[in-house]
Amino acid sequence: MKKRLQTLWQFLRTLATDNAYEQYLQHHRGAHADQPPMSRRAFYLHQQQRKWSGVQRCC
């Protein structure tokens, strides 16, 4: 039961992009370990900038 709730919570966090930064860090550690990663705020701003540069919302 506890495990299921935890899975649901993680699903919600992913859906809301709450854990996007953690995913980025994980990827960064694997792929570009030589460079320092972006801070949480810089990453958030970067994501918003990218997201809103294309068609994101429809009629």
Partner 1 sequence: MRKLSWGLVAVIGAFAVGGIALHRGETVNAMWIVVAAICIYAIGYRFYSAWIATRVLCVDSARLTPAVRLNNGRDYMPTHRWVVFGHHFAAIAGPGPLIGPTLAAQFGYLPGTLWILVGGVLGGCVQDMTILFLSTRRNGRSLGQMARDELGPLGGYAAMIGTLTIMLILIAVLGLVVVNAMKHSPWATATVFATIPIAVLVGVYLRNIRPGRVLEATLIGITLLLGAVIGGGVLNEHETLHTWFDFGGQPLAAFVIGYGFIAAVMPVWLLLAPRDYLSTFLKLGTVMLLALAVILMRPDIRMPAVTQFIDGSGPIFGGTLFPFVFITIACGAISGFHALVSSGTTPKLIGNETDVRLIGYGSMMLESGVALMAMIAATLLDPGVYFAINSAPGVVGATAEAAVTTISSWGFPVTAEQMHALAAAMGESTLLARTGGAPSLAVGMASIFSSAFGQGMLALWYHFAIMFEAVFILTTLDAGTRVGRFMLQDFLGHFWRPLGETSWYPSILLSSALVVAGWGYFLYIGVVDPNGGINILWPLFGIANQLLAGIALSVATGILIKQGQLRYAWVTAVPLGWIAIITTVATWEKIVSPDPRIGFVSAANQLAGKLASGAMSPEQAAVAPQLIFNQRLDAVLVIVLTAILWIVIADMLRVASRVVRGLPVLPSSEAPAVAEVRA
- If binding is defined by CB under 8 A, does position 52 make contact with partner 1? yes
Q: Give the amino acid at 21.
A: Y
- If binding is defined by CB under 8 A, does position 7 make contact with partner 1? no
DSSP the chain: -HHHHHHHHHHHHHHTTTTHHHHHHHHHHHH-TTSPPPPHHHHHHHHHHHHTTS-----
**Cβ distance to partner 1 smaller for residue 6 or 12:** 12
What's the closest the beta carbon of residue 52 comes to partner 1, in angstroms?
4
Interface residue list for partner 1 (CB under 8 A)? 11-18, 20-21, 23-24, 26-28, 31, 40-41, 43-59
